[in-house]
Amino acid sequence: MGKLLKQIEATPVNSGGKHSTVDLAIQELQGEDRDDLVCALRNPTISATVLSQVLANNSIEVSRTAINRWRNREGI
Does residue 16 carry a pLDDT above 80?
A: no
9 phi, psi to nearest 5 deg: -70, -30
Mean of the pLDDT values across residues 47-76?
Answer: 95
Say if 66 falls within a structural domain.
Answer: yes
Say if 9 falls within a structural domain.
Answer: no
Say if 48 falls within a structural domain.
Answer: yes
Say if 25 falls within a structural domain.
Answer: yes
Q: pTM higher than 0.95 for the full model?
A: no
Say if 4 falls within a structural domain.
Answer: no
Does residue 19 carry a pLDDT above 90?
A: no
In terms of pLDDT, which residue wins out, 3 or 40? 40
Write out the residue range of the structural domain in which residue 37 sits.
19-74
22-26 — which CB contacts under 8 Å span 24+ positions? Answer: 22/62, 22/66, 22/67, 22/69, 22/70, 23/70, 25/55, 25/60, 25/62
* Total structural domains within the chain: 1
Instruction: Return the pLDDT at 7.
Output: 87
Say if 56 falls within a structural domain.
Answer: yes
